[in-house]
Homo-oligomer: A and B are copies of this chain.
């Protein structure tokens, strides 16, 4: 038996960074233009408009020059004023983490949390908002990636809007892989990144801001200006005749255009369907192999990433390292509270294709069997996946 030749991964089936689509990789290698070259100014406006089309929203989303962590911090800094009361909805590590940013900018952050393998209940959110009219802003992580679980973002958005509050949504690892848009969930700030389901390398974010969102930001005396944390600086930067606050990442913008062309060309519904199919096939295989989801139930499991509960007595790091070393397949660990408890498999962008479910099951099962001989029947897993795939 031999190891995967060389040191390079053969399949990157992580929850991000994921491998990029070939057309995106080629676009990254286009000649680099001056940001004020008329051709690049036109390009930036065109890409911004394509992002609006992909996000199915009228308002042109901002393209920020850093991966979504920048966008999340900038959104907190821009939206939240010091006297605001924020309700942070938490169903996982990323949701909880956002509370820390929120807490920097205001005195009171209320947290409404559920277990990290659970989803928030719109009715409970509704009750909380009724009880606390002082809450001005509600924050939610749609897909808490370290848990692989989805919250009912559209329903919660309905509740938030019924109460007339502002709604900030982290859709970083869900947008592009399922039916969620700024308008579907009525978000005032909707944050995503091209480095997940759109199949770009990490280094940009997309932020859609509603009219109400802009009003609040502009009224916030503490909203950053002349800062990389400023949303305001970028409000009009997408227009070809407006200046950039600072130099955009020219090569990555070219890559983003290729990704948006691919997404719109293939058809979002088609793209979502292959994310869903891949994840369903993978989950069926998991179950058949006797492994279980971290998510409390399948109905809240994300189509873009699956978190597997690490079996009793298995060292997750060792398990993951074996898959990488022996089969050349890279998976993601958990994060924070889920670290060591879950192993995660991405179904995002170019890897959201049914056969990658088979690849993942094989490498996972094979590595587990190397670790603890004979625990799982890979073939049974593959057959179960194939029964879904057809």
Interface-forming stretch among A82-90, A132-140, A244-252? A244-252
Per the bound structure, the CA–CA distance linking A7 and B28 in Å amounts to: 19
**Do B246 and A67 touch (CB < 8 A)?**
yes
Number of copies: 4
| A262 closest partner in B (C-beta) | B6
In the complex the two chains form, is B37's CB within 8 Å of A12's CB? yes
| A69 interface neighbour in B8, B247, B390, Cβ under 8 Å | B247
- Report A302-328 CB contacts with B as 1/0, cut-off 8 Å: 000000000000000000010010111
Determine the chain B residues whose CB is within 8 A of the CB of A365 once the complex forms: 386
Which residue of the partner chain, among B25, B69, B273, B380, contacts A29 with CB atoms under 8 Å? B25
Question: Would B389 and A1 count as touching, CB distance under 8 A?
Answer: yes
Interface residues on A, range: 35 or more
Most B CB contacts (10 A, CB to CB) among A39, A363, A370 go to A39
Question: How distant is the Cα of A29 from the Cα of B258 in the complex, in angstroms?
Answer: 13
Question: Which residues of A, 354-377, contact B by the 8 Å Cβ criterion?
Answer: 354-355, 358-359, 362-363, 365-366, 369-370, 377
> Does A5 touch B at the CB level, under 8 Å?
yes
Q: In the complex, which of the residues B25, B69, B251, B382 contacts A31, with contact meaning CB atoms closer than 8 Å?
A: B25
User: A347 in the interface, Cβ–Cβ < 8 Å?
Assistant: no
Residues of B within 8 A of A227 (CB): 73
CB within 8 Å of B: which A1-36 residues: 1-2, 4-12, 14, 16-20, 22, 25-36
Q: Which of A62-108 contact B (CB under 8 A)?
A: 65-67, 69-70, 73, 100
Which A residues lie at the B interface, using CB under 8 A?
1-2, 4-12, 14, 16-20, 22, 25-39, 42, 65-67, 69-70, 73, 100, 195, 201-203, 226-229, 246-252, 255, 266, 270-271, 273-274, 277, 321, 324, 326-330, 332-333, 353-355, 358-359, 362-363, 365-366, 369-370, 377-383, 386, 389-390
